[in-house]
Structure 1
């Protein structure tokens, strides 16, 4: 696959200043009468999005299905960059990490070796399961599978301690199912029953591949499915899991072994390397039921369930028969995919899943020049300062809330490129002969690194996103802006971009994210990291009034490509407010950095913003997004914030009544 060419981000050339009148002499050779040159109005006054992106839209026609976008192309470019790195590590690695990654990559691309390997990578896991003889053997088998990154029966992960955001707790959660929603196992409608029939067929295929004799397939499938149904019946609906506060319930670890004797949770924690004195268990009733199941179901039934879960988890990384079975159900049925991703993409996804931080370290070193990092830090800091000034002189937040917001912004950190904290790269050596075995080696390492987060005061130095994946986000728990290395390239930020474009693109994205520090989301964590609402009812009322105005404004805009459909301003409101804030803050930061703005720089600011949102979206995809997407479509992400800017019309010489100009009474200030 060729490397996608970067988007052209130079400013659009200005139209000719005037058109010369045809010269002609009067019959009696009177002096030539010249008409006054008419000022040319930029096409951006009619539609900034269309004018800024006309080259991109012409070069990227509507796809047959789904959508394509400028930011999607950025993600594709980052993937190609990772591919290029791994190819280099495969040929000539420098250092232990590059050697590990190169061998991992080579083993995944060697399909002949993968075919010859067959089910060998999972054989030790299956042998461990076959050795289960009594109920007391089940819990150690469950713990061992968690250790290699295959969570069965329940979930256990590291996450932020809501009592102290500078540390992580271990969270015992529901899990252990092969389907994404426990409701699938209890619904009786025809569509769900059809899906469950396909699911059972997939289970049969996987169990057969694990070595279950044909005569036992039906019985083993029924046993495994019965375990999942029992687990699902004890779990909460997904809607109940959306509020993190409802899933946070600290309990002492000291009594878990006695309270859940069959699950042996004390031994489980020890096996994961966790020695903290507290964990979170928000649903003790679920674990009581799981504990009872371990004590009452026969070991043979647990063997069927565990064998199935291992086979399902590892199927994408084994030989073709395994991969085909997994794709036929998970790809086609659950995700609606028509064909598998190219082999290189499958292997890259596997490496990012199991060894992503390793690759991220190398990616940042290769693709983030120090000059880019410094420019990003400078712009982000200027945007943060602009936000402080807007809060200080604005009337949206007042009194104690204003003081708290300013204190929070004073403490806000900006982290660019990759996490500051390095990891322990002590990993069992990988060869090139077994991709499945390498996957287990890497996922065991990744799980161990996650478990080391628990109980330590280093939460603020870890990221939940990989440096090689384009991302720019505000981390509410630790009051910091995170910008990955992969994000710092066109159309977001590149040294070749004119200064105005840099602020309009990267600066406005930074402003969008930083606005969340002090908005309806950020109000729930104060400057000291305490989880509390630091707004007064009056602050909240002013915010709601402003945000509802934004919602009504967007709600009056037509949805692109869908005749008769408007943007759902209620659905997109909060992100629309952040877009408006982002452009406002970035414009202020640019003015502070360059007080004497020339016309080209000012136009480039708005052009840079608009070029972020270039996209081609099919009608089917647009209908889906109109119902579900919390962000406005690209046309209005580009145009609506620019329409609200007082300086936009002057920058492009727009005349009164131009489509991109709004009346003063319709103009909304976010602060």
Structure 2
């Protein structure tokens, strides 16, 4: 289902925290950096490269030693702070899964039983290798039974229900113009490659090469599954997906919540796509009699899809559906399918030389099926109550800093400021884990039926979402599990959510001084809150309705700032020949710049007029910015970096680290950055959002 929501030798050391010359460490302090314990301050000093001037490349200064000595693990496309935490949580989750597996007194039907049996079904390679692709025979038979194009819509609904990629899909969420209602959003889907550009860019050698290898991959997989006409089938599938790609909206177009809100009564769907049997779709999808309208995200795509139905043969449609069934479940079949799937989606597409150990894939499979059940056990073992209490205090300071800053904004008028304060006052924060845990009692998991387990879990999740229709909005629900190393802002609920797993070093260190925590998790919190006031979130009011509460003058002033950010980040290039899309990454870049500014102000509030101690030769303000830069340490394989350029709204690590700092007045003061330094931007070139 689609989802809507819903990253200094030679300077004089000053010891006064708020001094304008709150500079980088002296040569003596640099020596301390090389030998100090990476505790207390919360800064991992062993990663600092003192051969790099912080005024020229702060990101490399903070992370340079780590960058030099660290290799991306063979089973990863990227590596860094987020991934290290993810590895840590995977090991913790493995211990929980192992305990459930070894518990002979586990109760049938309990979450522990489901966790243990889901894992066991994935780890039983011997059985899976005997079965080959036979667990998919039922789905293949249903596709073979298709007789005409009127039945395509029903097949789309059936496959969507079990988690297979289809040309259009649905998401269940709040009505953006009536936040009291749960509605259905209908949007584009159906591509096997990450973005439409992979199909349409003939002038890009790497994308074109990927497309050629994708065609070969489809052919190989179909041949493995017994398709005697695999070359012809593969060609027809690529042609069909290319036709879909031609009419799809770009990632930038899809960022506009107004243009993607198109209310269509069910009876009018036939006007958009008369060759799609909407009655069959609504019946098979379980939506019949539950809704009277849908929100169509990309109307022109649905119109274009209708023409693709007409132009594509039934044989091609059958091949397409079979391919996506096979692709969806291939990583859970016998070894030849697993290896072929990884060879393309892992190695070709993301540049990863080696698949993850099976146990990691098994734990992730448990997360995909019984995620909150596993999360409940995770929180009980690994998230102490005092961590949540300290986070709540930190969040309160962030909100106070935002409230103060609203009064000083140069791009927001008095009337809008009143509305901004109202939105801030109704912001809901969720920390660690949900108030109530998901009920998996209706989900059946069997020890010897991996594909059946996955399908039943997908149907369970599908039905769980469908069941929300016609009911009050559940404002306590979470969109991430507690063990997820991430955070998010949901404009429809006006909420920020911080799962337990991200509340660990380097983001949050319960034993560390506050400075690094404000520069780390504080900036992440500030980042997420700012999404309520960025180019997208600002279009939603305090209760989550899509309503423009800014004046025309506010929009114009804000646009000047965002235009400068688009230009700044659009000049960055993570891979030669591939520059960032400043418009695609705009919302996240606004959030990085805003979040860091607010976190700095919140840190000053937390000091309550006192001077921060010097730790590891660093003043509080310096540790704050070090905390920011160390959070983003990371390395990305070139193939994965290209995927990110095409689909990821976040900038790559080094540009999140340095690009944001170049706009921060506090950074200039803390490290004495002057004209001529590579990090320096003239005051009139700095984009200051908050």
User: Shorter-chain TM-score category?
Assistant: 0.7 to 0.9
Q: Which residue of 2 aligns with 1:27?
A: none
Q: Is the 8 A contact 1:45 1:658 kept in 2?
A: no
Pair 1:423–1:269, CA change in 2 (3 A): farther
* Structure 2 residue runs without a partner (length 5+): 1-36, 46-52, 615-619
Select between 366-375 and 426-435 the one with higher mean Cα deviation: 426-435
Q: Does 1:252 align with 2:265?
A: yes
Q: Is the 8 A contact 1:169 1:454 kept in 2?
A: yes
Q: Which residue of 2 aligns with 1:91?
A: 102
Q: Is the 8 A contact 2:42 2:517 kept in 1?
A: no
1:183 positional shift: 6.7
Q: Is the 8 A contact 1:74 1:470 kept in 2?
A: yes
Q: Does 1:117 align with 2:147?
A: no
Q: Is the 8 A contact 1:392 1:406 kept in 2?
A: no
Q: Which residue of 1 aligns with 2:354?
A: 339
Pair 1:10–1:619, CA change in 2 (3 A): farther
The structure 2 residue matched to 1:70, chosen from 69, 81, 84, is: 81
Q: Which residue of 2 aligns with 1:609?
A: 628
Q: Does 1:106 align with 2:106?
A: no
Give the match's secondary structure for 2:439: coil
Pair 1:245–1:641, CA change in 2 (3 A): closer
1:616 positional shift: 5.3
The structure 2 residue matched to 1:11, chosen from 41, 44, 53, is: 41
Q: Does 1:128 align with 2:142?
A: yes
Q: Which aligned pairs between 1:432-451 and structure 2 lie closer than 5 A?
A: 432-451=447-466
Q: Which residue of 2 aligns with 1:408?
A: 423
Give distance in 2, aligned partners of 1:408 and 1:547.
21
Q: Is the 8 A contact 1:413 1:481 kept in 2?
A: yes
Give distance in 2, aligned partners of 1:449 and 1:331.
31
1:514 positional shift: 1.9
Give distance in 2, aligned partners of 1:543 and 1:47.
28
Pair 1:343–1:499, CA change in 2 (3 A): same
Q: Is the 8 A contact 2:194 2:647 kept in 1?
A: no
Q: Which residue of 1 aligns with 2:606?
A: 593
1:381 positional shift: 1.7
Q: Is the 8 A contact 1:160 1:167 kept in 2?
A: yes
The structure 1 residue matched to 2:490, chosen from 453, 462, 475, is: 475
**CA displacement 1:43-78 (0-9 Å, x = unmatched):** 978876566557755764688997643333223323
**CA displacement 1:182-225 (0-9 Å, x = unmatched):** 6766777796876665444433433344344x3x5456556656
Q: Which residue of 2 aligns with 1:582?
A: 595
Select between 401-410 and 514-523 the one with higher mean Cα deviation: 514-523
Give distance in 1, aligned partners of 2:483 and 2:81.
17
Q: Which residue of 1 aligns with 2:527?
A: 512
Give the match's secondary structure for 1:172: strand
Give distance in 1, aligned partners of 2:570 and 2:213.
41
Q: Is the 8 A contact 1:210 1:307 kept in 2?
A: no
1:163 positional shift: 1.6
Q: Which residue of 1 aligns with 2:218?
A: 203
Select between 288-297 and 486-495 the one with higher mean Cα deviation: 288-297
Give distance in 1, aligned partners of 2:612 and 2:190.
60
Give the match's secondary structure for 2:171: strand
Q: Does 1:431 align with 2:450?
A: no
1:400 positional shift: 0.3
Pair 1:589–1:319, CA change in 2 (3 A): same
Higher CA-based Rg: 1
TM-score by length of structure 1 reads: 0.78
Q: Does 1:168 align with 2:182?
A: yes
Pair 1:421–1:265, CA change in 2 (3 A): farther
Pair 1:233–1:559, CA change in 2 (3 A): closer
Q: Is the 8 A contact 1:383 1:510 kept in 2?
A: yes
Select between 307-316 and 252-261 the one with higher mean Cα deviation: 252-261
Give the match's secondary structure for 1:482: strand
Q: Does 1:494 align with 2:509?
A: yes
**CA displacement 1:146-188 (0-9 Å, x = unmatched):** 2222243432332442222344322233333444456766777
Give distance in 2, aligned partners of 1:444 and 1:263.
23
**CA displacement 1:7-41 (0-9 Å, x = unmatched):** 9443289x9xxxxxxxxxxxxxxxxxxxxxxxxxx
Select between 151-160 and 225-234 the one with higher mean Cα deviation: 225-234
Q: Does 1:374 align with 2:389?
A: yes
Q: Is the 8 A contact 2:179 2:543 kept in 1?
A: no
Q: Which aligned pairs between 1:221-300 and structure 2 lie closer than 5 A?
A: 228=241, 240-253=253-266, 263-274=276-287, 275-282=290-297
Q: Is the 8 A contact 2:256 2:536 kept in 1?
A: no
Give distance in 2, aligned partners of 1:225 and 1:581.
42
Q: Does 1:306 align with 2:321?
A: yes
The structure 2 residue matched to 1:522, chosen from 511, 533, 537, is: 537
Give distance in 1, aligned partners of 2:295 and 2:352.
37
The structure 1 residue matched to 2:172, chosen from 153, 158, 175, is: 158
1:124 positional shift: 2.1
Count of residues paired in the alignment: 634
Q: Which residue of 1 aligns with 2:28?
A: none
Pair 1:546–1:469, CA change in 2 (3 A): same
Pair 1:106–1:543, CA change in 2 (3 A): same
1:102 positional shift: 1.6
1:521 positional shift: 3.7
Structure number with higher relative contact order (C-alpha < 8 Å, ≥ 6 residues apart): 2
Q: Is the 8 A contact 2:77 2:351 kept in 1?
A: no
Q: Which residue of 2 aligns with 1:389?
A: 404
Q: Is the 8 A contact 2:80 2:634 kept in 1?
A: yes
Give distance in 1, aligned partners of 2:575 and 2:99.
44
Give distance in 2, aligned partners of 1:261 and 1:553.
45
